[in-house]
Structure 1
Amino acid sequence: MAALPPNHFLALPRPDVHFTPAVGTPDTSTLAAHDFDVDTRTGFMPPQPPLARLPAEWESWEATLDDGLASKLQLSDRADVSAEDRAKTERWRSHVRNLPIISIAGLKSSELLLRRAHHVLAWVMHLFVHTTPQSETTINIPPPITVPLLQVSAQLQLPPVLTYSDDVLYNWAYKTPPENPFLTAPALDNLRCLTLFTGTRDEEEFYLTSARIELRGVEALSIMRSIMDEAFVGDTIALRRITTYLGALAGVIAELSQILGTLRQGCDPHIFYNDIRPWFKGADSDTRGRKWVFEGIERDPTLEQPAELSGPSAGQSTLVHALDIFLGVDRYSHSLFSTHGAARSTATLGAASGTPAVPFLTRMQSYMPRHHRTFLRHLAGSPRPLRALVENAGNAPLRAAYDGAVKALKEFRDEHVRIVALYILVPSKREGKEGGPKGTGGTDAFQFVKGVRDQTAGALLGEGR
């Protein structure tokens, strides 16, 4: 495991999440501050490959995951599971139930160890959940997984479920180690995944497409930082520079759309829908509405049954949220609350229920690493927001450049709509499933991403607006 500088915030003693405040004061003077865990080379991806294995004390977790993946366990809702496969699955599930409950005390001093522990335990839990026989009316997660996973999740302030950070941000390694890994960003074609449910290239490309978007998005973060610096000056020269920077930002976002489109080349929609996607569904995507019960919680009085558990989703990408917030379109794009019918606005749902609704994309921020959530709050709290500056400047080229960046973001979402249609909507219709197909985050996938795309388009200023 690569050593961190002694003054790096991830190397500082971790606070007890229940009793003591955080150590140190975050440096929030720059969008690349280490206290946000944002790197100038890799953005929201870690600057070095994530830890690939826990120390010996927690080897039983690693070995259990290895065994589950090597056994090619079959999803319990498949009709073609053989008796031999069922017996093999039950042997593995019995092994999980009989694991010892291992203390996480030795993990608390290291953010990197905790991340790996969350990754391994959440992956084991999803294997266990999605091999639960269909005859069982609830999904009971045994104490050897429940207790350490909930404890690790509390330390990280993450839900006890697979998240985007588990299958994208902290799920990569180099194919070939570079000569100077501390000086250069990872090459987009030199990445591989650490963990895969199916072991297929299709699944690996699904995760790596998002990883490549994150890495290419580093330039967008740099441009955003430059724009914020110029916004503090705000004179004629600064506005001219912001106009140029916004053109560059639109170009980077267009490249993100192109990378998203490459998913078609490496991931087959049929394989994704039937063989990959079911493994990382969350509790709110269970087709039978079965409750996930975390057994053994009474062993630790600080633990509680989770109220909701969505699976990993592109909506958990801090990069995309950062673009929304920076361009000031989040009040449009984040206003939708997904339901079992169509996507509806927060205002509509709030009026209907009498209580404030939490938009889906806002809710997804609780599934992000906590330092990245802090980054978004810092970005949203800028005293000189870009959109207000553009609206008040009376500068036609600046306004056009701003709309160009918003249009590029809208076109990124056009591509996302096409991907969801190809990978979720079409396969679900081919299988004759009723109702709107749900995404792994629990949303009615197609209607929701289409609604977010349309709302983003509504943020365009236009010439006379």
Structure 2
Amino acid sequence: MTGGIHILDLHKFDVDEKNGFLSSELPLDHLENTYYKPWETLATNIPRLLLTNQLKPEVENRLPLLSIDQLTSLQELKRGYVLLTFIINGYVWSINPPNEIIPDSLALPLLEVSKKLGLPPVATYSSVVLWNYKLVDNTKEISLENLTTGLTFTGSFDEAWFYLISVYFEKIGAQCVEHGLKAIDAVTANYSVSFIESMKLLAMSIDNLTDILKRMDEKCDPYVFYFRIRPFLAGWKNMAKVGLPHGVKYGPNGEYQQWSGGSNAQSSLIQYLDLVLGVTHFSDGGQQQYPRKPITNESQFKRNSYLLDMRQYMPQPHRSFLKEVGEKTNIRQYVLKQSSESAERFAYDTCISMMKNFRDVHLGIIKNYILIPARAERMNETNVMRNGLATTHNNKNHVGTGGTSLVKFLTQCRDETSDMAVTKWVKEYLKDDNVEHSNLEMNFIFDYNYNFVGFKDKVSNIQLIEDEDENTDVDFFIHHW
């Protein structure tokens, strides 16, 4: 096939065939130029300085004002951005109430580096995940067993694991990039067989992402995350309740700015999947009226402004890539033209089901890592110092590090994903919150030829389905769900 989107130069968008939205070049683990040693020393010592309450005086009294002119490559600019954003988030949230005015020695170089990279001057998904990891063995591929993190706020295994799960998530996401683009290409060429195969592989890849997400609790304790890690990832937008009604002031003579903190919503991979599958998210007050009402005209609702806003927190090349994919994606339009019982429709609904399952798991993590710790009675029985978001446990409408109402936002995204199913009964099944009628989890099993062969139930038994016709496995799977 020719003329498809797969012929785009992925490297032009800093997207790697093997590593997805992780750059083909490993992040720098330090700046070799000794001129920037004060940044390196301060950033790498953040856990110790926070523990001893010395970060604030170090920044205010000992951090020199350095020029960024000696950051001569893109990799060095990225490292500079990682260092300075860790320092600013650590500084702002090091005390309660938080520091509101940033010293020039930190504010000015951060503003300049951020401008060159086209990113906000705050800790983002780019600085804590995409550009903040190292390989244990540089001769081996990226895997959880071969990953270690760079900077942290707490120095804990829990924080490192929290970041590294996201790093590996992006690595595995390269499969989604590949199969999604091939599906778009197959539609362009009107090649049904290739489309169905690509969608099955995309469904498998999304399921792999879900499996990675489920490993979060292996080494990241929910209470450590909620009380110790999460506060430092917050930005200063919608943070009036925790002491920053105007955001922070970048320099004594600078301006107040409000920015969201690091969030998974800043992952280009998640928005890429929504674009490929044609999943549309709306602003509050759109289709999210309860009880839910069917949409008759999508144009009457505004797109979700928060998700669009999150794109400015992504690296510029990734934003360009999403724009390109958004203009070329054709999958949903193609599927809607197919007959109601077609394999194309069933393959598409398999991907939608996987995305819905992914978002269910994400909601489960929010419950375990935010809602349960926030409601724990022992929170009110301790004199341990809390700061930032860890002081807002009495607020039922929990705010995420990105400044949004977490449960409401993620539930809306999950429901809007279910709405995209094109088979009526599948859509109704996905929207049904009463799961007591079924012991099934959407955890699907495929054979080595990527044919669906079964699923796991809630007691982890594998239920096999015999598929006599290997060419209709997607069809067979849907009818026996």
TM over 0.5: yes
Contact 1:239–1:398 (CA<8 Å) still a contact in 2?
A: yes
Task: Give the Å deviation of 1:444.
Answer: 1.2
Query: 1:91, CA displacement in angstroms?
Result: 3.5
The answer for the alignment partner of 1:401 in structure 2 is 347
1:193 matched to which residue of 2?
Answer: 149
Q: CA deviation at 1:294?
A: 2.9
1:456 Cα offset (Å): 0.8
Tell me, in whole angstroms, the C-alpha distance in 1 between the residues paired with 2:46 and 2:264: 26
Question: How has the CA–CA distance of structure 1 residues 104 and 367 changed in structure 2, closer, same or farther, with 3 Å as cutoff?
Answer: same
2:313 to 367, 392, 396: 367
| 1:336 has 2:288 as partner | no
Letter in 2 for 1:118: Y
Q: Using a 3 Å threshold, how does the CA distance of structure 1 residues 316 and 63 change in structure 2: closer, same or farther?
A: same
The answer as to whether partners of 2:179 and 2:198 remain within 8 angstroms in 1 is yes
Is contact 1:396–1:463 with CA below 8 Å preserved after alignment? no
Query: Are 1:139 and 1:293, in contact at CA under 8 Å, matched by a contact in 2?
Result: yes
Residues in 2 aligned to 1:250 and 1:406: alpha-carbon distance in whole angstroms:
8
Q: Which residues in structure 2 correspond to 1:19-418 (within 5 Å)? A: 30=7, 33-54=10-31, 55-71=33-49, 73-74=50-51, 85-86=52-53, 88-95=54-61, 98-107=62-71, 109-134=72-97, 139-178=100-139, 185-234=141-190, 238-284=191-237, 286=239, 287-290=241-244, 291-296=246-251, 305=255, 307-329=257-279, 331=280, 334-337=281-284, 359-382=305-328, 385-394=330-339, 396-418=342-364
Once the two structures are TM-superposed, the CA of residue 35 in structure 1 deviates from its matched residue by: 1.0
- State the 1:254 CA deviation: 0.8
Greater shift, 276-285 or 429-438, is seen at 429-438
Question: Is the CA contact 1:119–1:166 (under 8 Å) kept in the aligned structure 2?
Answer: yes
**Amino acid of the structure 2 residue aligned with 1:323:** L
Q: Which moved more, 1:113-122 or 1:391-400?
A: 391-400
Query: Is residue 202–residue 266 contact of structure 1 (8 Å, CA) maintained in 2?
Result: yes
Deviation, structure 1 residue 92: 2.5
Equivalent AA in structure 2 for residue 321 of structure 1? Q
In 1, the alpha carbon distance for the partners of 2:11 and 2:130 equals 16
Question: How many residues were matched structurally?
Answer: 391
Q: Give the C-alpha shift of residue 47 in structure 1.
A: 1.7
Letter in 1 for 2:40: E
CA distance in structure 2 between the aligned counterparts of 1:29 and 1:248, rounded to whole angstroms: 16
Of residues 283-292 and 45-54 in structure 1, the stretch that sits farther from structure 2 once superposed is 283-292
1:228: how far off? Answer: 2.1
Aligned residue in 2 for 1:460: 421
Measure, in 2, the Cα distance between the counterparts of 1:456 and 1:356.
16
- Change in 2 beyond 3 A, CA 1:153/1:189: same
Unpaired segments of 5 or more residues in structure 2?
A: 291-300, 380-392, 428-481
Task: Tell me, yes or no, if the aligned pair for 2:19 and 2:174 is still in contact at 8 Å.
Answer: yes
Distance in 2 between residues matched to 1:292 and 1:123, nearest whole Å: 17
- Cα deviation digits, residues 353-412 of structure 1 (max 9, x gap): xx9786211111110001000000000010x61100111133611001001101101100
Percent of aligned positions that are identical: 31
1:293 alignment partner AA: V
Contact 1:336 1:359 in 2 (8 A): yes
Going from structure 1 to structure 2, the CA distance change for 1:319 and 1:222 (only over 3 Å counts) comes to same
Contact persistence 2:283–2:303 (CA under 8 A) = no
Distance in 1 separating the partners of 2:107 and 2:41? 17
Give the Cα separation in 1 of the matches to 2:274 and 2:45: 41
> Is the alpha carbon distance of 1:379 and 1:90 closer, same or farther for their aligned partners in structure 2, counting shifts above 3 Å?
closer
SS of equivalent residue, structure 2 residue 89: helix
Can you list the C-alpha shifts for 1:276-323, whole angstroms capped at 9, x where unaligned? 11111110253334134334386xxxxx74643111101011011100
Normalised to the residue count of structure 1, the TM-score between the two structures is: 0.79
Rounded Cα–Cα distance in structure 1 between residues aligned with 2:312 and 2:55: 33
Structure 1 residues 203 and 245: CA distance shift in structure 2, 3 A? same
- The SS at the match of 1:381 is helix
Provide the C-alpha distance between the structure 2 equivalents of 1:60 and 1:269, rounded to a whole number of angstroms.
Answer: 33
SS in 2 for 1:393: coil
| Residues 1:227 and 1:119: Cα distance change in structure 2 (over 3 Å) | same
Unpaired segments ≥5 residues, structure 1? 1-27, 75-84, 180-184, 299-303, 345-354
